């Protein structure tokens, strides 16, 4: 239990008649880089706002380091750095003054922490310029800098690469990996960029319309959904045989059979099965599922269920 850094239990949030989040459960453990995915309006931002104590849960609770965020916010947030949506910064202050102020509120103004945060985010040269003169990307970096001030143990980032150029996005990805790897910081990352999440995160949860559709280790999810592509004669007969075996398969655009395989199943076993049935197998090529494919497949499944309902 000590390993659990962030815990969301039965979290519900209604705004009038609208259910923004409907019974969400999440668990983030120490050292995780946790990706939080979902389309616009899925309830991601509401959940993150509740993690920051900005939104009061209608039901359920959110605990950080074992402390309820709404009832015991000072203890819950004392070791947390956050970037909630676009960075809210004082435009009439300099970047350094912003950081000094947020550092004071986070437990103390440590010159070394501020220097380090500026260095990490590449803002040292512009630290004494007023924020109103910053570009969107620089504001985003400053938002990140305030999130990593005062050596947090958990960093919650909502769309941290929003507005950054490709180089900036790459740097932020590296930063997140470093935070988790070298600094041992647990990271909770909400992003629309599936490629980014796949590259960075170790665990992921997908929500839609306020409900969790899937969660787990990224490696497990991708394996669970992995496919093999089989080049074979009498394609239609082979497809029927594979389906009769209980596997999910279809014929791809190039005329091959694409088979979804279970995590522990062996591609060689399917090959043997087809050969025994008298088919001539020319090639068996493993296909790695991307997080994007996984995401759209579960979104598709959800839409299918919703249509039937």
Partner 1 sequence: MNIVAKQIKLEIFKLSRRGRSYLGLTAMLGLAGLIVLGLAQGPPQIGGASPQGFATAGSFLNGGFAAWFMLRVTLLFFLPLFTCVVTGDMISSESADGTLRTLLSKPVSRESVYCAKYIASIIYTAALTLFMGTAAYIIGSIFLGRGSLTTFQAGTIIGAQGIYIFPETEGIMRLIGAYMFAALAVLSVGSIAFFISSMVSNSLGAIGGAMLTLIAFQIMGMFEFFKPINSFLFTAHMESWSGLFVSPIPWGQIFKSACTLCAYSAGFFTLGLIVFRRRDILS
- Pick out residues in 3-42 that bind partner 1 (CB under 8 A): 15
In the set 74, 182, 255, 308, which binds partner 1 (CB under 8 A)? 74
Q: Is 298 one of the binding residues for partner 1 (CB under 8 A)?
A: no
In the set 10, 85, 233, 292, which binds partner 1 (CB under 8 A)? 85
In the set 80, 145, 179, 197, which binds partner 1 (CB under 8 A)? 80
Q: Is 186 one of the binding residues for partner 1 (CB under 8 A)?
A: no
In the set 55, 179, 207, 238, which binds partner 1 (CB under 8 A)? 55
In the set 106, 140, 186, 191, which binds partner 1 (CB under 8 A)? 106
- Pick out residues in 130-159 that bind partner 1 (CB under 8 A): 143, 146
Q: Is 96 one of the binding residues for partner 1 (CB under 8 A)?
A: no
Q: Is 86 one of the binding residues for partner 1 (CB under 8 A)?
A: yes
Q: Is 66 one of the binding residues for partner 1 (CB under 8 A)?
A: no
Binding-site residue total for partner 1 (CB under 8 A)? 34
Query: Quick count: other Cβ atoms within 10 Å of Cβ 26?
Result: 20
CA distance 160 to 179: 14
In the set 6, 21, 33, 89, which binds partner 1 (CB under 8 A)? 89
Q: Is 128 one of the binding residues for partner 1 (CB under 8 A)?
A: no
- Pick out residues in 250-289 that bind partner 1 (CB under 8 A): none
Q: Is 242 one of the binding residues for partner 1 (CB under 8 A)?
A: no
Which residues make up the interface to partner 1 (CB under 8 A)?
A: 15, 49, 52-56, 73-78, 80, 82, 84-93, 97, 101-102, 104-107, 143, 146
């Amino acid at each position: 239990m000590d390993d659990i850094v962030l815990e969301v239990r039965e979290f519900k949030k209604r705004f009038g008649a609208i259910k923004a989040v409907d019974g969400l459960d999440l668990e983030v453990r120490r050292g995780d880089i946790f990706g939080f995915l979902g389309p616009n309006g899925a309830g991601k931002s509401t959940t993150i706002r509740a993690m920051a104590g900005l939104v009061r849960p209608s039901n359920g609770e959110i605990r950080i380091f074992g402390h309820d965020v709404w009832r015991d916010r000072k203890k819950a947030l004392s070791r947390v750095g956050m970037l909630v949506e676009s960075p809210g910064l004082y435009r009439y202050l300099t970047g350094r003054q912003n950081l000094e102020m947020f550092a004071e509120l986070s437990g103390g103004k440590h010159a070394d922490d501020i220097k380090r945060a500026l260095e990490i985010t590449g803002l040292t040269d512009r630290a004494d310029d007023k924020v109103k003169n910053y570009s969107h990307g620089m504001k985003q970096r400053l938002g990140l800098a305030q999130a990593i001030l005062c050596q947090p143990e958990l960093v919650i980032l909502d769309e941290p690469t929003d507005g950054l150029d490709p180089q900036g996005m790459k740097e932020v990805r590296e930063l997140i990996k470093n935070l988790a790897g070298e600094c041992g910081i647990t990271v909770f990352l909400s992003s629309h960029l599936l490629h980014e999440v796949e590259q960075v995160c170790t665990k992921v949860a997908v929500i839609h319309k306020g409900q969790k559709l899937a969660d787990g280790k990224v490696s497990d999810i991708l394996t669970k959904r992995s496919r093999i592509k089989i080049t074979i004669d009498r394609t239609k007969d082979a497809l029927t045989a594979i389906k009769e075996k209980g596997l999910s398969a279809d014929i791809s655009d190039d005329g091959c059979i694409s088979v979804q395989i279970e995590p522990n199943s062996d591609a060689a076993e399917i090959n043997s099965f087809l050969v025994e049935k008298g088919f001539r197998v020319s090639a068996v090529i493993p296909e790695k599922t991307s997080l994007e494919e996984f995401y759209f497949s579960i979104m598709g499944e959800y839409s299918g269920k919703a249509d039937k309902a």
